Amino acid sequence: MDFIVRLAEKKDMQSVFNLITELAVFEKEPDAVEITVQDLERDGFSEKPKFKVFVAEQENNIIGIALFYERYSTWKGRTIHLEDLIVTKEKQKIGAGKALYAAVLKYAYNNNYNRVAWEVIDWNTNAVEFYKSTGANYLNDWSVVQMDKEGLAKFIENN
């Protein structure tokens, strides 16, 4: 392994933002990223951080991230949601993604979380097969449901 995995620092947020943007392009949503580097700095490094990020770093360059945060399940209690796991395209296949994934799972285990959950796009068969190969449960009978800011506004206006 010629890279290291560590918890991100505030100074890393530009690189984290760049990888989030790269992921949005990969997922065919190039204009979907609304946050800024300043949002990441504020929300990740305030008195009560909203998330944590592991980064994979190679030769002082961040080549991958795993961004996650705590949730609470009415069935399981304390859980972690893995929001994004990405390795920049030119550095894939060197083990950085697996190392980031392992770092999140070890963090969850060592801190007594009861579950780690995440979403994966069904057409990303490499990711789906990777997760299955690690023993993760692929729940294809559940659907993701979301309401964006515009939907929230319309709902409030009409109710």
> H helices within the chain, ranges in order?
13-26, 37-44, 96-110, 125-133, 149-158
Cβ pair 79, 118 in contact under 8 A? no
Selected catalytic residue, list 101, 109, 113, 131: 131
Q: Is 69 helix (H, G, I), strand (E, B) or coil?
A: strand
* Cα–Cα distance, 84 to 18 (Å, whole number): 13
Known active-site residue 113: no
Q: Is 135 helix (H, G, I), strand (E, B) or coil?
A: coil
Q: Count Cα atoms within 13 angstroms, Cβ side, for 98.
A: 11
Residues annotated as part of the active site = 131
